[in-house]
Amino acid sequence: MVARVLLLWGLLVLGAPVLAEEPVPLAAYRGPVSGWPAPEVDEGVAWVELAALPEPDVDPMWTAETRLGRLLFFDPWLSGSGQISCASCHDPDLAWTDGRRVPFGHDRMPGTRNTPSLINVGYLDTLMWDGRADSLEQQAGLPLVSHVEMNARPDRVVARLERDPAYADWFTDAFGDADITYPRIVAALADFQRHLTTRRTPFDEFMEGRRTALDDQEIRGLHWFRTQGRCMNCHHGPLLTDQAFHNLGLNFYGRPLQDLGRYAISGEAGDVGRFRTPPLRGVAYTAPYMHNGMIPALRNVLLFYNKGGAHPPKGEEHRDAPLFPSTSDHLRPLHLSEAQLADLEAFLRALSVKPNRLPMRFEQTLRDRARRRADQAGSQPR
C-alpha cells in the first residue's frame, strides 16, 4: 500500500506542470552570504540564516562520565529482558538510528514511530517526535521504562549493575564513589549522547568560507532549497530545523495507523497530527523518513514535498469531528523539475557524512563484558 501511494505521488509530480527555471546565481553563492538571494518563506516565519554547526556547549573532551554513559548505552542489562540496549535502536553503524520503518522493542513489539537519529541531539531544545522530553536526561529515561521499548524497572536495573564488579570502578571514576543510582545512570547516558556530534561536512566547509567545498549541482540545490523549494519555512539555521511542530498530513486521522502527534502532549486541538521538524544534518544516512518511517528514500521525500504534501479530505464520517487536523499551510505544490529535484538531493547529501564507527577496542570491551557475565551465569555465549 505504501509503495502504491509513493508511486502515485511520483506520477502526480512528474505529470504536474513545471515552472520555468531561472538561472541560478552561482557567482553570488560563491561570495558572502549577505549577497545570497533571500529565502522564499511565508509571512511570519522567523527564519534563521544557514550556518556551519557551532561548537557544542559541552566540552568535546570525553570524561569518565561520558565513557560510563557509552558503556551503559550498549548494555542490555538496562532492559527488562536483559537483551535490549539503547544501541539496539540507535546503532552507530546506521547513523545512530536503526534503518527500520519502526523499531522492535520488548517481546519484539513493533513501535509506532520511526527511530530518530541521535546525531547532534545535544543541540536540540525538545526531544522525541512529539516533544515530550525537554532534556536529554528526561529523554534518556523514557525508553528504559516504556513497556513497548526496553520495559525496565529502575530498581532492577540498579541491582543488576551492582552484580557487575566493574561498574563500581566505573561509577567511582565518573561520580567520585561507587554508589550506583538510577539518576546517575540517566545522567551518564545523557552526557554520552551530548557528545554525539556530526563530523564536518562539505556544507560546513562551504559556510566557513571554502566556497569550492560544494560543486555547481550542490549549489544549485542550495538555491532551490532556499527559494522555489520553500524548504526554509521549516529547515533553517545551523541545524536546518526550526525545532517546531508541523502537520504534513501523514497522521492517518480516524484510521488504524492514527497518530495524533503533539496533541497527546499539549492537549491543544491545533497540535493534532503535528510532529517536530527533524534536523537535516546526516539526512542521507537516516532513511526511512517521516515520523512513521513510511517514506523509504530521500528522492521519495522530495517527490512528496514537490506534490505539496498530503492533504486528506474531511469526509462525511468526520464532518463533526472537532479534532480533524489540517495540513500545514507551508505545504503546497512546488512544480520542481527532475533536474531541480536531483540538485536538491545532491545538496542534502552534502549535509551528510557517515558517522565514525565504534572503535575496535571498545567492541572488544563489550565482548569481554558479555563473556564475563556468561561465565558468572555458568554458561558460555553462543
Taking the C-alpha atoms of residue 363 and residue 28, their distance in angstroms, rounded to an integer, is: 47
Pinpoint the alpha helices (H) of the chain: 2-14, 26-29, 64-73, 136-145, 154-163, 165-175, 182-194, 202-207, 216-226, 263-266, 298-307, 338-350, 360-376
The pLDDT confidence band at residue 18, using thresholds 50, 70 and 90, is low
pLDDT tens readout for residues 167-182: 999 999 999 999 999 9
Taking the C-alpha atoms of residue 84 and residue 157, their distance in angstroms, rounded to an integer, is: 12
- Greater confidence (6 vs 365) lies with 365
**Which runs of E-coded beta strand occur in 248-350?**
275-276
Taking the C-alpha atoms of residue 234 and residue 262, their distance in angstroms, rounded to an integer, is: 16
CB 142 within 8 A of CB 113: no
pLDDT tens readout for residues 228-282: 999 999 999 999 999 999 999 999 999 999 999 999 999 999 999 999 999 999 9
Residue 164 has pLDDT above 90, yes or no: yes
User: 3-state class of 106 per DSSP?
Assistant: helix
pLDDT the model gives residue 6: 47
Partners of 274 in the β-ladder:
261
Residue 314 has pLDDT above 80, yes or no: yes
Ramachandran bin of 261, using left for φ above 0, alpha for ψ from -120 to 50, beta for the remaining angles: left
How much is the average pLDDT of 205-222?
A: 97
Taking the C-alpha atoms of residue 247 and residue 327, their distance in angstroms, rounded to an integer, is: 5
CB 324 within 8 A of CB 318: yes
CATH architecture of 64-197+356-376: Orthogonal Bundle (1.10)
Q: What is the CATH number of domain 24-53+200-313+321-350?
A: 1.10.760.10
Q: Which residues contact 47 (CB under 8 A, 6 or more apart)?
A: 39, 41, 232, 233, 236, 237, 242
| Segment among 73-87, 167-181, 306-320 with least mean pLDDT | 306-320
**In this structure, what C-alpha cell is assigned to residue 99?**
534503518
Q: Which residues contact 326 (CB under 8 A, 6 or more apart)?
A: 247
CB 253 within 8 A of CB 263: no
Taking the C-alpha atoms of residue 370 and residue 77, their distance in angstroms, rounded to an integer, is: 11
**In this structure, what C-alpha cell is assigned to residue 201?**
561536512
Taking the C-alpha atoms of residue 88 and residue 110, their distance in angstroms, rounded to an integer, is: 13
Cis amide linkage into residue 54, ω under 30° from 0 = no
φ, ψ (nearest 5 deg) of residue 245: -120, 130
Residue 98 has pLDDT above 90, yes or no: yes
Taking the C-alpha atoms of residue 202 and residue 90, their distance in angstroms, rounded to an integer, is: 25
Q: Which residues contact 153 (CB under 8 A, 6 or more apart)?
A: 80, 145
pLDDT the model gives residue 378: 74
Using the CB atoms, write b or e for 43-78: b if 16+ within 10 Å: eeeebeebbebeeeeeeeeeebbbbbbbbbbbbbbb
User: 3-state class of 289 per DSSP?
Assistant: strand
In the chain, where the domains are located: 24-53+200-313+321-350, 64-197+356-376
Residue 14 has pLDDT above 50, yes or no: no
By CB atoms closer than 10 A (0-12, 13-18, 19+), residue 341 is: buried
320 HSE (CA, 13 A, CB side): 0
Residue 308 burial (CB count, 10 A):
19
How much is the average pLDDT of 315-342?
A: 93
Residue 223 has pLDDT above 80, yes or no: yes
Asked whether this chain's domains 24-53+200-313+321-350 and 64-197+356-376 adopt the same fold, the reply is yes
E strand or H helix at 245, and its extent?
strand 245-246
Nearest Cα to Cα of residue 54 among 283, 213, 238: 238
